[in-house]
Structure 1
């Protein structure tokens, strides 16, 4: 190790053709000091890119986007109808707000097959590409995960820890709200929504309900909190694109 730092550096008679500077002899090899610095800088940049790529891949994997929508983006969303164009614009603008650090919510309502999940995953992919944490999950799956923590055989997580987990993402996309069983499951989902509000985190809520039905289901207190700081409302009221209509 000491020999490495005590290596004798000699002047070479050669000139670097790229930098027009005199080369040196180190460890019996001729090299250009400027070239050596460029090589180190390039190596550091390549390492940084690799680390960033690995982090990005980890973020995407953790988002749990549905397989069908792993490539869904704003650019490949169908906009044949005026309502679809409006939904695309509103959702894309919302994604920009979250990327820029805003803490605002979005509600997207409408019948099945209107592209709501596509737009939500496009939002998640936009955030993930910018280094933000996003998570997609259905309302039923969230409730089931929290309820699993009640199992006496489950030692690694409690109800509070699962709710805390869902509170940490920069954006939580909660799809199919209202399709879960009522009563206890609804209460658990609302606990997550309240926790995210208290922790100043953005939530994207998607439902097949009408806007009035969703307001009533959330209740006055939670709906009021959802509007705090600004709320984007997207209503998808066109035909089901999966059965021949526009989507």
Structure 2
């Protein structure tokens, strides 16, 4: 940049006190090529910082993290016993695996109020901060969105399934809670099969036990879910919401 300035503008006798280089005449002003280069670099850095912030906001907005969990992170997940500590460390390790661009799936089971959604959203926020595309959605909402795709003139069931297959990580919360209609459950399974075929990571969060979830998914889908590595997190403790817990 300074070489270009020196070539395009005539040099003058004055020298820049800071950089000890000969200044050039640019219209009515005498400027230092090094100072000009630094100013351009600063502007470029500020522009890139602005672009990065916009991209980050788009990533977080597209993830559809519930407002209640917009600040849920690994650091503010409360651990008062070994089970919670193990669940936390498992999710942290899982996030590191995805950041390293390695394929894994994660299933988190347990009763309501055990902090499962907090941990899933903490995982999402960690990955989003690294520029990894994540989507959070309940099983019911995903099934409804796919089922209603035909009502839109520019959409279809296959297109909706494809959209859910594109995220680096898809978090399917409340699996088995409000999706018991057979046709709706099949739509959820279509997404899980599609993500397996695309080699994408999936996290399932459910109030079912691990055994119940395995039976509900079926042998073929359960086998595929384990193929690239499966992390099981079982939250087998009491509801922590009662009394102001996680």
TM range (shorter): over 0.9
Distance 1:210 1:28, change over 3 A: same
Q: CA deviation at 1:22?
A: 1.6
Tell me if the contact between 1:80 and 1:246 (Cα under 8 Å) persists in the aligned partners: no
Q: Secondary structure at the match of 2:150?
A: coil
Q: Which residue of 2 aligns with 1:203?
A: 202
Q: Which runs of 4+ in 1 moved over 2 A?
A: 7-14, 244-247
Q: Determine helix, strand or coil for the equivalent of 1:234.
A: strand
CA distance in 2, matches of 1:23, 1:156: 60
Superposed, which structure 2 residues align to 1:51-62 within 5 Å? 51-62=51-62
Cα distance in 1, alignment partners of residues 85 and 44 from structure 2: 43
Report the TM-score, using the length of structure 2 for normalisation.
Answer: 0.94
Offset at 1:181? 2.5
* Alpha-carbon contact 1:104-1:230 (below 8 Å) kept: yes
What is the CA-CA distance between 1:33 and the residue it aligns to?
Answer: 0.5
Q: Distance in 2 between matches of 1:92 and 1:188?
A: 30
What residue number does 2:32 align with? 32
Q: CA deviation at 1:8?
A: 7.1
2:191 alignment partner in structure 1: 192
C-alpha distance in 1 between matches for 2:245 and 2:201: 30
Which shifted more, 234-243 or 18-27? 18-27
Who is 2:233 aligned against?
234
* 1:55-102 Cα shifts (integer Å, max 9, x gaps): 111000000000000010000000111111100000001001001101
Inter-partner Cα distance in structure 2 for 1:243 and 1:33: 66
Counterpart of 1:168? 166
**1:127 paired residue number:** 127
Distance 2:149 2:54 in 1: 31
Aligned residues: 240
**TM-superposed deviation, 1:246:** 4.8
2:12 equivalent in structure 1:
12
1:158 corresponding residue in structure 2: 156
SS of the residue aligned with 2:25?
Answer: strand
Q: Unpaired segments of 5 or more residues in structure 2?
A: none
